[in-house]
Structure 1
Amino acid sequence: MSLTVFDFIALTLFFTCWIGYTQFARIKAKNTACLSRVLHQHRILWMRQILDNDVRVSHAALLSNLDRHVAFFASTTLLILAGVLTLFTQVDNVNEVLSSIPIATERNHVAIQIKLSLLGMIFVMAFFQFTWSMRQYGFLNILIGAAPVAEQTTNPALLDYAKQMGVVQDQAGHAYNYGLRSYYFSLAALSWFFHPLMFIVSSLAVVYVLFYREFKSKALRAIILAIKDLESEDI
């Protein structure tokens, strides 16, 4: 067989980590303070601020900056995909390089092609997420362009409009986050070329890093304190 039983175990654990963490983070965010939850609150506050301003140049610049980051990763993903596809024609060279690494297990051409296919699939998924994020930022720009100037921020209809703009921006941010998450797991998949055990350890390490940054990071604590400060001032 091209892959050993250990390879299949490592691959199964990899997808379990990726899919499992995505579902875990989505469920836990409903009742636990995390980056996605607190940023959602900030996005709604930001959209409320937009309604209070007739001149929205600064807001447009901020949104353009966010969109530019997404566009950078989308274009970079295409370049990476081109590199992965090129490696399919250089399997002999890849095999030779791996053979020169002491910790790398013996590989055959089919196994290398399977691993390259996994990398290709990951970056295709990342590209779809980044482009969907770009489209949603475009939708948000339309909503902001159509937004009226609020005479009073307590108007229920206007507050609901600001909330829906925040939801659209939130979805764009989630798509961007999913694309970045694909990059993290692609690094774990890269270790599969060397050894299945490294693949397992890397997958678990990626989950730990993602969990720490989402639920335990200093940035999260600072953003939570910022929300509390705003609430204490009744802004």
Structure 2
Amino acid sequence: MAALKFLPWYDWLALLWFFGLWLGYARFSGSTQQATLLQTTNRYRRYWMEQATARDPRVLDGIIVQGLSSSPSFFASTTIIIIGGLLALLGATDKASEFVREIPFAVRTSVLVFDLKVMLLTGIFVYAFFRFTWSMRQYTFAALVIGSMPDPADFSAGKFDRKHFADRAGKMLGMAAETFNGGVRAYYMSFAATAWFFSSLAFAVATAAVVLVLYAREFRSEVLHVLRD
């Protein structure tokens, strides 16, 4: 109730705009029929796993999975540090809010509103942490699937279905990549949330700009064109 009382209506509108664009874009990118960067790379993951069924030993595949899992591990560790810094900031909001008031073009707000803005950033990074750690576990599961693949000779003899194993391992790797992508997307959105410290208008504009950047990279990037050719 205190937040409803002290937070201006235009800040609530900017918050609705922020979460609406974030959730809307996530749903759009996950359900669209257009080729996205993630969908295109998933095809390569499927090709990779098909090659893995014919490879023995599969040391190279294990090394690649380990390398892929290092990225969410790094981001998870970094996110913990950021969350710790934001929680420490909540304990010194008086000095921090005074510092923000001295920034040119920054709107002067109460300490309560400043706390809400810091809590928003903290919540975003907590969400990102859960995404990164779950991605790490999914890469572990994918490594187990790859390690459990039968001998290539058994595939050739028809004892096991090569397509079944390749599809399952490729899908597991795609799920891990999608989860990691969600955490990285949260990092992008945190930059938009930072603009709220200046004004609600800057917050709304930054949100739209970040979503446009995400769209350009996932749907219109040169990397996507190269992978599709």
TM range (shorter): over 0.9
Conserved 8 A contact 1:54-1:149: yes
Task: Determine which of 21, 30, 35 is the counterpart of 2:25.
Answer: 21
- Is the 1:88–1:113 contact (alpha carbons within 8 Å) kept by the matching residues of 2? yes
**Aligned counterpart for 2:145 among listed residues 143, 147, 155:** 143
* Count of aligned pairs between the two proteins: 223
Within the candidate set 29, 32, 35, 1:33 is matched to 35
Q: Residues 154 and 87 of structure 1: is their aligned pair in 2 closer, same or farther, counting only changes over 3 Å?
A: farther
CA contact (8 A) 1:47 1:166 kept: yes
Matches within 5 A, 1:85-96: 85-96=87-98
1:69 alignment counterpart: 71
Q: Deviations over 1:116-150 (max 9, x none)?
A: 11111101110110010000000011111110133
Equivalent residue, structure 2, for 1:112: 114
Alignment partner, residue 184 of structure 1: 188
Please name the residue that 2:11 is paired with. Answer: 7
Residue 179 (structure 2) aligns with = 175
Gaps of 5+ in 2: none
1:83 matched to 2:95: no
Whether the 8 Å contact between 1:98 and 1:193 is mirrored in structure 2 is yes
The yes-or-no answer on 1:48 pairing with 2:89 is no
Cα contact 1:153–1:159 (8 A) shared by 2:
no
Q: 2-side partners of 1:37 and 1:193: how far apart?
A: 36
For 2:105, what is the secondary structure of its paired residue?
coil
Percent identity between matched residues is 37
Q: Which residue of 2 aligns with 1:121?
A: 123
Judged with a 3 Å threshold, the aligned counterparts in structure 2 of structure 1 residues 204 and 154 are, in CA distance, closer, same or farther, namely farther
Opposite residue 123 of structure 2, the aligned amino acid is M
Match of 1:213 among 193, 212, 217: 217
The answer for the alignment partner of 2:227 in structure 1 is 223
**In the aligned structure 2, how far is the partner of 1:62 from the partner of 1:138?**
12
- The whole-number CA distance in structure 2 between the counterparts of 1:117 and 1:205 is 22
Letter of the 1:149 partner, please give it.
Answer: D
In structure 1, what is the Cα distance between the partners aligned to 2:149 and 2:173? 15
Distance 2:156 2:197 in 1: 56
Confirm whether residue 103 of structure 1 aligns to residue 102 of structure 2.
Answer: no
| Alignment partner, residue 133 of structure 2 | 131
1:163 aligns with 2:146: no
In the alignment, structure 1 residue 202 sits paired with structure 2 residue 199: no
| CA distance in 1: counterparts of 2:215 and 2:122, whole angstroms | 25
User: TM-score scaled to structure 2, two decimals?
Assistant: 0.94
Q: CA deviation at 1:102?
A: 2.1
* Residue number in structure 2 paired with 1:230: none
Shift of 1:153: 6.5
CA distance in 2, matches of 1:204, 1:147: 45
Match for 2:162: what amino acid? L
